[in-house]
Structure 1
Amino acid sequence: MITLTADNFAEQVLGSDKPVLVDFWAEWCGPCKMIAPVLEQIEAEYGDRVTIAKLNADDHPEISSRYGVLGLPTLSLFKNGEVVQQIKGAKPKRMLLADLEGHI
Protein backbone atom coordinates (compact mmCIF):
# COMPACT_ATOMS: atom_id res chain seq x y z
CA MET A 1 0.00 0.00 0.00
CA ILE A 2 1.38 3.37 -1.01
CA THR A 3 1.48 6.28 1.44
CA LEU A 4 0.68 9.48 -0.40
CA THR A 5 2.00 12.97 0.30
CA ALA A 6 1.83 16.30 -1.49
CA ASP A 7 5.22 15.43 -3.00
CA ASN A 8 4.22 12.12 -4.62
CA PHE A 9 0.45 12.48 -5.23
CA ALA A 10 0.73 13.66 -8.85
CA GLU A 11 3.21 10.94 -9.81
CA GLN A 12 1.60 8.04 -7.92
CA VAL A 13 -2.07 8.87 -8.60
CA LEU A 14 -2.50 11.25 -11.51
CA GLY A 15 0.34 9.71 -13.53
CA SER A 16 -0.52 6.07 -12.87
CA ASP A 17 -1.20 3.77 -15.80
CA LYS A 18 -3.65 1.70 -13.76
CA PRO A 19 -6.57 2.72 -11.52
CA VAL A 20 -5.64 4.02 -8.06
CA LEU A 21 -8.01 3.75 -5.09
CA VAL A 22 -7.09 6.55 -2.68
CA ASP A 23 -8.15 6.10 0.93
CA PHE A 24 -8.55 9.56 2.52
CA TRP A 25 -8.21 8.84 6.26
CA ALA A 26 -7.12 10.31 9.60
CA GLU A 27 -5.58 8.85 12.75
CA TRP A 28 -8.61 9.77 14.91
CA CYS A 29 -11.13 8.17 12.51
CA GLY A 30 -12.55 4.88 13.85
CA PRO A 31 -14.25 3.80 10.60
CA CYS A 32 -10.95 4.47 8.77
CA LYS A 33 -9.27 1.86 10.99
CA MET A 34 -12.13 -0.58 10.33
CA ILE A 35 -11.77 -0.33 6.56
CA ALA A 36 -7.95 -0.67 6.49
CA PRO A 37 -7.89 -4.52 6.62
CA VAL A 38 -10.55 -4.67 3.89
CA LEU A 39 -8.37 -2.49 1.64
CA GLU A 40 -5.39 -4.78 2.36
CA GLN A 41 -7.49 -7.78 1.24
CA ILE A 42 -8.56 -5.98 -1.94
CA GLU A 43 -4.94 -5.08 -2.65
CA ALA A 44 -3.86 -8.70 -2.16
CA GLU A 45 -6.57 -9.99 -4.51
CA TYR A 46 -6.72 -7.21 -7.13
CA GLY A 47 -3.27 -5.59 -6.84
CA ASP A 48 -2.48 -6.44 -10.45
CA ARG A 49 -5.48 -4.33 -11.58
CA VAL A 50 -5.67 -1.51 -9.01
CA THR A 51 -3.23 0.33 -6.78
CA ILE A 52 -4.34 1.04 -3.20
CA ALA A 53 -2.97 4.24 -1.66
CA LYS A 54 -3.57 6.12 1.60
CA LEU A 55 -3.57 9.87 2.13
CA ASN A 56 -3.78 11.34 5.63
CA ALA A 57 -6.42 14.06 5.21
CA ASP A 58 -5.25 15.94 8.32
CA ASP A 59 -1.70 16.18 6.97
CA HIS A 60 -2.78 17.17 3.44
CA PRO A 61 -6.03 19.18 3.66
CA GLU A 62 -5.33 20.92 0.34
CA ILE A 63 -5.50 17.63 -1.58
CA SER A 64 -8.59 16.47 0.32
CA SER A 65 -10.32 19.76 -0.43
CA ARG A 66 -9.35 19.66 -4.13
CA TYR A 67 -11.15 16.33 -4.53
CA GLY A 68 -14.25 17.20 -2.53
CA VAL A 69 -13.51 15.05 0.52
CA LEU A 70 -15.86 16.27 3.27
CA GLY A 71 -16.01 13.21 5.54
CA LEU A 72 -13.75 10.31 6.42
CA PRO A 73 -13.14 7.72 5.27
CA THR A 74 -13.63 8.64 1.63
CA LEU A 75 -12.33 6.34 -1.10
CA SER A 76 -11.72 7.96 -4.47
CA LEU A 77 -10.97 5.85 -7.51
CA PHE A 78 -8.76 7.63 -10.01
CA LYS A 79 -8.43 6.53 -13.64
CA ASN A 80 -6.27 8.50 -16.05
CA GLY A 81 -5.92 11.27 -13.47
CA GLU A 82 -9.67 11.74 -12.94
CA VAL A 83 -11.98 10.64 -10.12
CA VAL A 84 -14.38 8.10 -11.63
CA GLN A 85 -15.91 6.82 -8.38
CA GLN A 86 -16.15 8.17 -4.84
CA ILE A 87 -17.23 6.01 -1.91
CA LYS A 88 -18.04 7.64 1.42
CA GLY A 89 -17.85 5.77 4.71
CA ALA A 90 -16.71 2.30 5.68
CA LYS A 91 -18.38 -0.61 3.88
CA PRO A 92 -17.96 -4.37 3.88
CA LYS A 93 -15.63 -5.82 1.25
CA ARG A 94 -18.38 -7.18 -1.01
CA MET A 95 -20.09 -3.76 -1.11
CA LEU A 96 -16.81 -2.00 -1.90
CA LEU A 97 -16.11 -4.46 -4.71
CA ALA A 98 -19.64 -3.94 -6.06
CA ASP A 99 -19.05 -0.17 -6.10
CA LEU A 100 -15.73 -0.66 -7.91
CA GLU A 101 -17.09 -3.16 -10.43
CA GLY A 102 -16.60 -2.01 -13.99
CA HIS A 103 -13.66 0.19 -13.00
CA ILE A 104 -11.07 -2.42 -12.00
Structure 2
Amino acid sequence: MSVQAVNDATFESGIRNDGATMVEFGATWCPPCKVLLPILDELSENYGEKLTILKVDCDESPLTSSHFGVMSMPTVILFHNGEPVEKLVGLRPRSAYENVLAKYAVNA
Protein backbone atom coordinates (compact mmCIF):
# COMPACT_ATOMS: atom_id res chain seq x y z
CA MET A 1 0.00 0.00 0.00
CA SER A 2 1.31 3.46 -0.77
CA VAL A 3 0.59 7.00 0.38
CA GLN A 4 -2.73 8.14 -1.11
CA ALA A 5 -3.49 11.75 -2.01
CA VAL A 6 -6.86 13.02 -0.80
CA ASN A 7 -8.57 16.41 -0.93
CA ASP A 8 -11.45 18.25 0.73
CA ALA A 9 -13.98 16.10 -1.16
CA THR A 10 -12.36 12.69 -0.54
CA PHE A 11 -10.79 13.14 2.91
CA GLU A 12 -13.58 11.65 5.03
CA SER A 13 -13.84 8.50 2.91
CA GLY A 14 -10.09 7.88 3.30
CA ILE A 15 -10.14 7.73 7.12
CA ARG A 16 -10.50 4.20 8.48
CA ASN A 17 -13.27 3.65 11.02
CA ASP A 18 -11.41 0.62 12.34
CA GLY A 19 -7.65 0.81 12.76
CA ALA A 20 -5.05 3.50 12.09
CA THR A 21 -4.85 6.25 9.49
CA MET A 22 -1.89 8.60 9.34
CA VAL A 23 -2.47 11.87 7.48
CA GLU A 24 0.32 14.16 6.29
CA PHE A 25 -0.63 17.78 5.68
CA GLY A 26 1.90 19.45 3.42
CA ALA A 27 2.50 21.17 0.09
CA THR A 28 4.48 20.44 -3.07
CA TRP A 29 6.74 23.45 -2.46
CA CYS A 30 7.57 22.54 1.17
CA PRO A 31 11.16 21.13 1.51
CA PRO A 32 10.57 19.27 4.84
CA CYS A 33 7.44 17.70 3.31
CA LYS A 34 9.56 16.34 0.46
CA VAL A 35 11.91 14.75 3.02
CA LEU A 36 8.97 13.24 4.92
CA LEU A 37 7.28 11.51 1.97
CA PRO A 38 9.91 8.75 1.54
CA ILE A 39 9.66 8.04 5.29
CA LEU A 40 5.89 7.68 4.96
CA ASP A 41 6.33 5.43 1.92
CA GLU A 42 8.59 3.15 3.99
CA LEU A 43 6.08 3.10 6.86
CA SER A 44 3.34 2.23 4.39
CA GLU A 45 5.36 -0.71 3.08
CA ASN A 46 6.36 -1.94 6.55
CA TYR A 47 2.91 -1.71 8.14
CA GLY A 48 0.95 -2.87 5.07
CA GLU A 49 -2.77 -3.35 5.66
CA LYS A 50 -2.52 -2.34 9.34
CA LEU A 51 -2.03 1.33 8.41
CA THR A 52 -3.51 3.69 5.84
CA ILE A 53 -1.41 6.76 5.01
CA LEU A 54 -2.98 9.77 3.33
CA LYS A 55 -1.52 13.08 2.21
CA VAL A 56 -3.37 16.36 1.96
CA ASP A 57 -2.03 19.31 -0.05
CA CYS A 58 -2.89 22.30 2.14
CA ASP A 59 -2.99 24.64 -0.88
CA GLU A 60 -5.53 22.44 -2.67
CA SER A 61 -7.57 21.47 0.42
CA PRO A 62 -7.81 24.53 2.67
CA LEU A 63 -11.07 23.42 4.34
CA THR A 64 -9.65 20.14 5.65
CA SER A 65 -6.37 21.78 6.67
CA SER A 66 -8.09 24.54 8.63
CA HIS A 67 -10.58 22.08 10.20
CA PHE A 68 -7.65 20.25 11.82
CA GLY A 69 -5.80 23.44 12.79
CA VAL A 70 -2.81 22.94 10.51
CA MET A 71 -0.57 25.97 10.96
CA SER A 72 2.82 24.54 9.92
CA MET A 73 3.94 21.99 7.39
CA PRO A 74 4.42 19.17 7.56
CA THR A 75 1.82 18.25 10.15
CA VAL A 76 1.03 14.58 10.66
CA ILE A 77 -2.17 13.55 12.44
CA LEU A 78 -2.81 9.97 13.50
CA PHE A 79 -6.42 8.85 13.48
CA HIS A 80 -7.35 5.75 15.49
CA ASN A 81 -10.76 4.23 14.80
CA GLY A 82 -11.76 7.38 12.92
CA GLU A 83 -10.79 9.87 15.64
CA PRO A 84 -7.72 12.16 15.66
CA VAL A 85 -5.50 11.09 18.57
CA GLU A 86 -1.98 12.46 17.95
CA LYS A 87 -0.55 15.48 16.11
CA LEU A 88 3.11 15.84 15.15
CA VAL A 89 4.09 19.27 13.85
CA GLY A 90 7.26 19.64 11.81
CA LEU A 91 9.59 17.05 10.35
CA ARG A 92 10.45 14.32 12.86
CA PRO A 93 12.72 11.27 12.65
CA ARG A 94 11.10 8.05 11.48
CA SER A 95 11.22 6.69 15.04
CA ALA A 96 8.85 9.44 16.23
CA TYR A 97 6.15 8.23 13.85
CA GLU A 98 6.81 4.59 14.78
CA ASN A 99 6.53 5.44 18.50
CA VAL A 100 3.14 7.11 17.97
CA LEU A 101 1.91 4.07 16.05
CA ALA A 102 3.13 1.74 18.81
CA LYS A 103 1.09 3.68 21.41
CA TYR A 104 -2.04 2.57 19.55
CA ALA A 105 -0.88 -1.03 19.12
CA VAL A 106 -0.09 -0.68 15.44
CA ASN A 107 2.95 -2.87 14.89
CA ALA A 108 4.87 -3.61 11.71
- Using structure 2 for the length normalisation, give the TM-score: 0.88
AA of the residue aligned to 2:25 = F
Distance in 2 between residues matched to 1:5 and 1:88, nearest whole Å: 20
Superposition deviation, residue 82 in structure 1: 1.4
> Unaligned stretches of 5+ in structure 1?
none
Aligned-residue CA RMSD (Å): 1.3
Secondary structure at 1:68's aligned position in 2? coil
Distance in 2 between residues matched to 1:99 and 1:17, nearest whole Å: 17
For the 8 Å contact 2:24–2:77, the answer to whether it is kept is yes
Query: Once the two structures are aligned, what percentage of the paired residues are identical?
Result: 33
Show the counterpart of 1:45: 46
Note the alpha carbon deviations across 1:66-96, whole angstroms, 9 max, x for none.
0111100000011232110111111121222
Distance in 2 between residues matched to 1:81 and 1:16, nearest whole Å: 4
Distance in 1 between residues matched to 2:100 and 2:9, nearest whole Å: 29
Show the counterpart of 1:81: 82
Matches within 5 A, 1:6-21: 6-13=8-15, 15-21=16-22
Superposition deviation, residue 18 in structure 1: 2.3
Distance in 2 between residues matched to 1:48 and 1:32, nearest whole Å: 24
> 1:60 aligned to 2:68?
no
Superposition deviation, residue 102 in structure 1: 1.7
For the 8 Å contact 1:21–1:50, the answer to whether it is kept is yes
Superposition deviation, residue 48 in structure 1: 1.9
- Using structure 1 for the length normalisation, give the TM-score: 0.91
The structure 1 segments of at least 4 consecutive aligned residues displaced by more than 2 Å after TM superposition are 15-18
